[in-house]
Every structure is written in structure tokens, then in C-alpha cells.
Amino acid sequence: MSCTSCGTGSPNGCKSNGGCSSGGCNRLNVHDWLANLPFSDPNSDCRIVEISFNNGSRKDFYRNNTLQHFEKGDMVTVEGVSGFDVGMVNLSGELVRLQMKKKGVKEDNPEFKKIMRRSNDMDLQKWRESKDREKAALVRTRAILIQMNLDMKLIEVEIQADGRKATFYYTAEDRVDFRELIKILAGDFKVKVEMKQIGIRQEAAKIGGIGSCGRELCCSSWLSDFKSVTTTIARYQNLTINQTKLSGQCGRLKCCLNYELDTYLDALQNFPTNAETLELSRGTASLIKKDIFKNLMWYVLPDSNKQYPVPIERVKEIRAMNAKGVRPDELGAIELTPAKAEEKEMAHVELVGQISLQTLERNSRRRRDKEQGQQRNQQQQKQQGQQGGGQQRRPQQQRQQQGGGNQQQPQQQQRPQQQRPQQNRPPQQPQGERKKIEPPKKDN
């Protein structure tokens, strides 16, 4: 998972933590799961190749009339507008036919542009120079839009590899007259200018980001078909209509609300229709929500704010009684008690057959007791040593006070020799703290 062409730091690696072989540097990647499968007739291989430009923000199909075989991640030079362009191979082989069938493109379409060759060093150098001009062109164009007071937002600038054409992607709520803008841009950048208006969802796909789920945005990773999302879809799923939580990074309702809609619609087919109200002797019960997981319908009575869960069968019975003009006395609600999960002690499974948790605990307990015993013995030895040293010092002090014995005479004779250099020094301590030094007494 390293790439020396765009690696930064040590070890080398892609900024998006992907490899060229896996397409980690591009958006809207497709895994070619048919790449390693053998085919009986190699002459019937698909000659159409899917090429991605500008890190996967734009894709197109090109015809491969060369004798070379291109794999995913190869840089190729293709036909452009009055010139050439450089892109990366995104798909090749039989999976391209499935992609064309999904997008409604025919394989024998004569409008397909051709792949010219595998990109050489000169092509790649011109392509990098054109890419370096895109940021400066984006800043300059935004400054021109502010000067001209045009109500449009510029999103991205894509310059062709040979530098002869530039495509400007923008968003606007209304139609914008940018004829004068095109003249200014063509004069400043000396290129052929093309303006393309995109939607807000496409803008979020080009910018990219992380969603509230913690994963990369669907529109920038794999989603290409944007379907309309309304608040009705949220009501089918019993979601609270909160614009802050239901809105995505683009400011519109999240596309993921459509993912589970079919499942909810299939489950709601078992629920009775026209059951928004139930006539009871106490009044009219109004429907609040439907629980497809427990097959319950929640109602509220007019005289209380309590919500009552009613099974589907009971709702059908009440609807049949109301059709006959009969109003039941009871709603037939059930009581839901939160089921507490039984705490079961997981038995130990001996995978090895020789070692168990009990033996490990027993060994650790013995080791712990041994260490604690050693610490106690060391503490007791220290205490005994301190007590023994104090007892040995006491008789020595008593002997010195008595002044008897032949053993004290050499010590008394050595004391003035040790204290003589201190007597010659000038006194530095106050008088109250000075120690009085007396010469030793000699026995006659």
C-alpha cells in the first residue's frame, strides 16, 4: 500500500492511504471482480475502457484501438478537444460492459473517443503543469465573479492536459448570463472556456467529506445516481422531522433515507389501511406511529396523553366493528415490559486441553502471595536492625559518661586532635548556639 509517485514522508504512501492498483487515489472507485477470471475467447474482450479524470470526479468511456492491454491504474493519453488529455484507467475488460449497460450506453457507439497511447514522460509533464495552473485559475475566476456581481458559485476548474481547454464547474439557483465572463476568462487564460452547471449534491461529491455516520460521503465514494428525497420518506420510517439531523453536508435531505425505504414499504403492507382513527365508547383514538418490528400500532386517547400499543389483529377487529356501527369499550392495548437480558456466566472452553483459567489464577495467586511474603520479611528485618542498633548505642553512651575503662583512653586522646583545626577558626555561630569544648581530663 505504497506509492512512490505521490508518497509523502517515510515510509512512502498515498495521502488517501490507498494504492494505484486498488484505485485508492480516486473517488467513485469500482472493484473489478472479473479481472482474474479466465475467458474462453480472448478475441471477444471488450475494447471499451473507462477512464477517470481529476481524481475520479469525471469519468468517460474510450475505445482502445491499440494492441496494448491496459489495467487499472495505468496512465493513458486520450483524444481531447483539439488536443489530448491524460487520464487513469478505472475499468477494463468485461465489467465495462456491465457499466455501459447500467448507464444505457451502447458498445458500438461511434461517438466514443479513442485512446492514443500509454502516457509518456512528456505527456505527464504537461499534465502536471496544467494541474498546477488550476488553483491559480480558480482564485482568479472567483475574484472576477465578485467584480462582475454574478450570482453563481464556482466549485472547480479542470484544465486539459495540453492546456488548450478549461472547464469551469459552478452552482447557481437561477440562470446566469456569463457571456461577458467567458470573454474575460478566454483572454486571461488563453484557453477555450466551457461552463458547466452542477447541482448541490454534485458539489458535495466533488468536495468530499465525512458524514454523520463516520464514513466517507456516499456521493463522493460510490453513489452516482441522485434520487429525490422528501419528508414523506422520513415519515414512513417513523423519523422525527428534524432538519438538522436529516440534512446532509449538501444542505439537502440525506440520500441514505432511500436505502431502507423499500423494506419499510414491504413491511407496511401487512398493516391495515385507513386505520388513522378508531371509534371507541370513550372517544376517538388517533394513530401516532407504526412499529414494523413488533407489528404494533400506537394510539392515543383524547382524555389522556398516554400512548397505547395495539396489535394489528385487534386494530382489524375494531375497524370491522366500527364498520357495523359498534363502538367497543376497550382499546385492547397490551403492556410492554422491557425484557432484561439474562446474565449467563460464559463457561470456559478449553482450546488447548491442558491450561485452564483456574490454573492460571492459582499460579498468579501463589506468585502474588510469595512476593507479599518477601516484602514482609524485608520490612521485619529492617525493623529488627533498627532496634538492635539502638540497643548497641545505649551501653556505649553509658560508658562514656562514667569515664572509666582503658578502652576510652585512646578515643579521648584522639578527640583534641580532631577538634584542634576547629578551635583556630573564627567563631561564626552566635553565643547562645556555640558548643563549649573542654580539654580531656587525665587520670593521675
Classified as helix, coil or strand, 247 is strand
Q: How far is CA 348 from CA 184, 351, 395, in A?
A: 77, 9, 66
H-only helix segments in 196-302: 200-207, 218-221, 231-236, 243-246, 261-268
Alpha carbon distance 296, 313 (integer Å): 9
Nearest residue to 127 via CA among 60, 193, 78, 185:
78
Do the Cβ atoms of 142 and 154 come closer than 8 Å?
yes
The pLDDT, as a whole number, for residue 41 is 61
* DSSP 8-state assignment for residue 44: G
pLDDT tens sequence across 127-160: 999 999 999 999 999 999 999 999 999 999 999 9
The list of the chain residues with pLDDT below 50 reads 1-5, 7-24, 404-419, 421-424, 429, 431-433, 435-436, 444
Do the Cβ atoms of 196 and 167 come closer than 8 Å?
yes
Alpha carbon distance 412, 218 (integer Å): 97
Same fold: 136-198 with 272-323:
no
Instruction: Find how far residue 370's CA is from the centre of its chain.
Output: 48
Nearest residue to 158 via CA among 139, 135, 182:
135
The pLDDT, as a whole number, for residue 46 is 82
Domain ranges of the chain: 45-126, 136-198, 205-267, 272-323
Taking CA 116 as the corner, what is the angle to CA 43 and CA 224, rounded to the nearest 5 degrees?
Answer: 80
User: Does CATH place domain 272-323 in 2.40.10?
Assistant: no
pLDDT, averaged across the chain: 79
Classified as helix, coil or strand, 396 is helix
The pLDDT, as a whole number, for residue 158 is 94
The pLDDT, as a whole number, for residue 407 is 45
The pLDDT, as a whole number, for residue 10 is 40
Nearest residue to 61 via CA among 21, 20, 115:
115
Phi, psi of 137 (to 5 degrees): -65, -35
User: Does CATH place domain 136-198 in 3.30.300?
Assistant: yes
Instruction: Region of 389 please: left (phi>0), alpha (psi -120 to 50) or beta.
Output: alpha
